[in-house]
Amino acid sequence: MARAPLTPGLGPVLEFDAVGVRMPRQVRRRGGGRRQRLRRIAGETRRDEVWRLRGATFSVAEGESVAIVGGKGSGRETLLRLAAGTLIPDEGAVRRRVAVVPMIDVARALQRGFTIRQNIYFVGGLLGMTPDEAGDRVAGIAAFSGLEGSLDKYLGTAIPMVRQKLAWSISMATEARAYAVEQVLVVGERDFRQQCWTRVDQMRKDGVTFLLASDSPRQFRRFCDRAIVLEAGALVAQGTVPEAIALFRESRRRGQDTPPEEPETSTEESGGPL
Amino acid sequence: MLVLRDLQTQYKKFRLGYLWTILEPLGMSVVLWFVFSVLLGARDLGLQPYLLFLSIAILPWWWFTRGISATTRVFRRKGGQLRISLLPTELWILRVIASTMIEFLLSLPVVLLAMALTKTLPGPLIVFFPVAILVQFFFMYGLGLLIASWSVVVPDLARIVRIVMRALFYLSPVLYSISNIPAQVQPFAAFNPLVGILGLYRIGFWPEEIETVGAYAISLGICTATFVVGIIVFRRLEPRILKEA
């Protein structure tokens, strides 16, 4: 029943076994939406699908922080969603020993029409908190995000930074043993970012596992033990963070001459350290 | 549990509008009663008292249409909620069906009002009323799973459903009783699952409806089949739903 089934006896925290997933292509096609839809109903065209990730095999041990290095469209968000189980693979299998909390644009799920308290219940619920747990943690979340005074105010048009901070605090309050983080390892203004760092460093020390996708090499260097390099949906390499960043930079330079096209022809040279 | 919490927060917003959940179906019953019973004087349409006959079917009908048309939209514009939701995907559908059901339960005083106006009391077979609610719930849940997952694949389904609903309103014994339709068509009516459900709602007031028990059996069977098919189709389409999120 549950979206992300767990495998209790698993050795590593998370294990990808030749995982592949097709996703609908997101570019707009010619010929108007209505006509396209009619065609699709008539069975003339199948919607284009591309392999967003294919042949990914790796595993993550308890307490590791793994950097997912790759540019836009390399499949890193797909990988994180698969890890958390909010996406089901078309081939291969994802096994996890503990629940993995997806921190993927959590702020977008906040509801304007709800109060901050209701949002904590709602988004916390999405991320796997029971109502009782959410109730217990409301105070802590409010304190961390500095919103104690406005718990029962509607979120309404709160500025993005407030939304980000609230989303971050809720996600971390799930007290999960593993997180799949897209971009938002630390958010907010300088002071708040410092608070975030303190918190995640502490969690890391406590053996919490992180998967981090980001555009910031600095975050990778500061936070991650090792790295996985993604390129056009294929797992190109695994290794240390500096190696991975170097590889990524080099491939990007090459990519400017010949843009990486056709993710379908993904080379399955997954695994294997550098 | 979460659904309950969800409902609570939703209902807080609409508490002012509670009166409307009563007034709307009541108004509709009265209008239809006025048109068919008073203006057209169709004495042999449905069963008497006609006002009660109408209102007891209109409420479940409303629940049905609202719930099902909401399921066509359930996976649209979720603002990335599905991307981070660790909850079972079925919950989104269950939530729609459950919240429309609560609306339905809250509007039940309309039936009491109609009973008072027509001075009618139900017989012992009224015990089937809760059974009808249960059957309708499971039927709607199955159909909701089916429609919600299909409408992700075929976005036009929402419009088709709207038309089918309109047709179904006239094809179902809301305005009339199935004893009103020609005998040779009656067996076909049995294949409409709503026939059985609405029959169960009415049986408490009009025990003579039990004659058509064979038809009920078929249409209840179809309810069960819908439930099973809904679950199977949903299972198969779930990866697809998540991809579109």
Task: Enumerate residues 6+ apart whose C-beta is below 8 A from B76.
Answer: none
Residue A260 has pLDDT above 80, yes or no: no
CB-based contact B154 A3, cutoff 8 Å: no
CB-based contact B80 A114, cutoff 8 Å: no
Q: What is the mean pLDDT of chain B?
A: 78
State the nearest Cα–Cα gap between A41 and chain B, in angstroms. 7
Q: Chain B contact for A42, CB < 8 A?
A: no
| pLDDT score, position A28 | 47
Which 219-248 residues of chain A touch chain B by CB within 8 A?
none
Choose the closest CB to A121 out of B5, B81, B89: B5
Residue B237 has pLDDT above 70, yes or no: yes
What percentage of chain A has pLDDT greater than the value 70? 82
| pLDDT score, position B140 | 92
Q: Measure CA of the first residue to CA of the last residue in chain B; give whole Å.
A: 24
Residue B226 has pLDDT above 50, yes or no: yes
Q: What are the pLDDT digits (tens) for A218-251?
A: 888 888 888 888 888 788 888 888 888 888 888 8
Structure tokens, B226: 């819908």
| pLDDT score, position B41 | 64
Taking contacts as CB-CB distances below 8 angstroms, the residues of chain A near B82 are 86
State the nearest Cα–Cα gap between A172 and chain B, in angstroms. 14
Name the pLDDT band for B229 (thresholds 50, 70, 90): very high
Query: What DSSP string runs through B148-191?
Result: HHHHHH-TTHHHHHHHHHHHHHHHTTTSS-GGGS-TTTHHHHTT
Question: Which has more confidence, B45 or B218?
Answer: B218
What percentage of chain A has pLDDT greater than the value 90? 0
Taking contacts as CB-CB distances below 8 angstroms, the residues of chain B near A152 are none
Cα A220 to its chain centre, rounded Å, is 15
Choose the closest CB to A4 out of B86, B243, B245: B86
Choose the closest CB to A90 out of B81, B88, B239: B239
Weakest mean pLDDT among A212-221, B95-104, B178-187, B234-243? B178-187
Question: Which has more confidence, A265 or A194?
Answer: A194
Per mean pLDDT, which of A97-106, A182-191, B42-51, B177-186 is the most reliable? A97-106
Which 71-90 residues of chain A touch chain B by CB within 8 A?
81, 84-90
CB-based contact B87 A84, cutoff 8 Å: no
Q: What are the pLDDT digits (tens) for A132-188?
A: 888 888 888 888 888 877 877 888 777 888 888 888 899 888 888 888 888 878 887
Name the pLDDT band for B33 (thresholds 50, 70, 90): confident
Residue B111 has pLDDT above 60, yes or no: yes
What percentage of chain B has pLDDT greater than the value 70? 79
CB-based contact A125 B82, cutoff 8 Å: no
Average pLDDT over residues B47-68: 84
Q: Chain B contact for A127, CB < 8 A?
A: yes
Average pLDDT over residues B209-228: 77
Q: What is the mean pLDDT of chain A?
A: 78
| pLDDT score, position B142 | 92
Name the pLDDT band for A89 (thresholds 50, 70, 90): confident
Residue A112: name the closest of A156, A151, A147, A153 by CA. Answer: A156
| pLDDT score, position B143 | 92
Choose the closest CB to A126 out of B87, B154, B242: B87
- All structural domains of chain A with their residue ranges: 1-99+178-187+207-274, 103-175
Environment class of A64 (CB within 10 Å of its CB; exposed 0-12, middle 13-18, buried 19+) = buried
| Superfamily name and number for A1-99+178-187+207-274 | P-loop containing nucleotide triphosphate hydrolases (3.40.50.300)
Average pLDDT over residues B189-209: 78
CB-based contact B9 A114, cutoff 8 Å: yes
Residue whose entry in the numeric block shows the structure tokens 């990524």:
A248
Question: Which has more confidence, B26 or B169?
Answer: B169
Name the pLDDT band for A273 (thresholds 50, 70, 90): very low
CB-based contact B83 A105, cutoff 8 Å: yes
Average pLDDT over residues B84-99: 84
How many interchain CB pairs under 8 A, A with B? 87
Name the pLDDT band for A6 (thresholds 50, 70, 90): confident
Question: Which has more confidence, A26 or B191?
Answer: B191
Residue type, A84: A
Residue A267 has pLDDT above 60, yes or no: no
Q: How far is it, in rounded angstroms, from Cα A58 to Cα A19? A: 9
| pLDDT score, position B77 | 67
Residue A261 has pLDDT above 50, yes or no: no
| pLDDT score, position A266 | 37
Residue A270 has pLDDT above 60, yes or no: no
Taking contacts as CB-CB distances below 8 angstroms, the residues of chain A near B89 are 3
Residue B243: name the closest of A234, A88, A12 by CA. Answer: A88
Q: What are the pLDDT digits (tens) for B36-53?
A: 766 666 666 666 777 788
Q: What are the pLDDT digits (tens) for B119-160?
A: 777 777 777 888 889 889 999 999 999 998 888 888 788 889
Q: What are phi and psi of A181, to 5 degrees?
A: -105, 125
In order of A143, B127, B178, B179, B207, the CA distances from B210 in angstroms are: 63, 14, 11, 11, 6
Q: Chain B contact for A104, CB < 8 A?
A: yes
Contact indicator for B176, B209 with CB cutoff of 8 Å: no
Average pLDDT over residues B173-188: 72
